[in-house]
A = this chain, B = another copy of it.
Amino acid sequence: MHRFLLAVLRRDLTLAARRRGDWLIAQFFFVMVASLFPLGVGPEPAMLARIGPGVLWVAATLASLLSLSRLFADDHRDGSLEHMVLSPEPTVLLVLGKSLAHWLIYGIPLLLIAPVLGIQFNLSWEAIRVLEISLLLGTPILSLLGGVGAALTLGLRGGGVLLTLLILPLYVPALIFGAGAVDGVMAGTGAEAHLSLLGAFLVLSLMIAPWIAAAALRVSLE
């Protein structure tokens, strides 16, 4: 059982390493969306610091959302998804492995880039620290919920946009708690409450999302 999980993980990581281009593009997308906002909103440092956490959280959401639309799509197109589903292991493990791989590949790098963008938005070190913690808790939620969306929209025309539409509403709590934690520390009201709510949401997603995603995957393949 854990051998299957490891096989899925290793496979997805190997594939990501082969397609370094795709991976880099996703990271750059994050940087670019975050950089668009100052261009639209204007360059005053105080204003940027104020909206910074929100913008970074929204940008991180959009960046990992876009890569999510290909979570199962590539494997579906070349037929290997069917082979994986036809393996003697439970589909839940497959979904869990792929979500985990997605988080390692697309979530973790966001954590590494976010501080640089935080500096561009004039955030304080303390705010950046909390931003990191909140992203650490929040990005796996996106990978898990995104797995559900990706399974539901598998093979549909315009799947990417539809996925966004399905997942964003579910994801709103994470966004509110996450950006709220950073806002809290900047406003001096502390971040603990927000962070623990975020953690609870993560545990909840971990317990529910893979099962729903596995069911959705079987339905989409019918």
Stretch in A95-103, A160-168, A191-199, A201-209 touching the partner: A160-168
Residues of B close to A32: CB separation below 8 A: 164-165, 168-169
Residues of B close to A37: CB separation below 8 A: 51, 54-55, 58
* B58 contacts A179, C-beta separation under 8 Å: no
In the complex, what residue of chain B is closest to A74 when comparing beta carbons?
A: B157
A216 smallest CB distance to B (angstroms): 18
In the complex, A57→B47 CA distance in Å? Answer: 17
Stretch in A3-11, A59-67, A82-90 touching the partner: A59-67
A148 smallest CB distance to B (angstroms): 17
In the complex, what residue of chain B is closest to A40 when comparing beta carbons?
A: B54
In the complex, A69→B160 CA distance in Å? Answer: 10
Question: Could you say which of A40, A47, A158, A160 has the most chain B C-beta atoms within 10 Å of its C-beta?
Answer: A40
Interchain residue pairs with CB less than 8 A apart (8): A25-B161, A29-B165, A32-B164, A39-B179, A40-B55, A41-B54, A42-B183, A47-B51
Using a CB–CB distance below 8 Å, which chain A residues touch chain B? 19, 21-22, 25-26, 28-29, 32-33, 36-37, 39-42, 47, 50-51, 53-55, 57-58, 61-62, 66-67, 69-70, 74, 157-158, 160-162, 164-165, 168-169, 172, 175-176, 179, 183
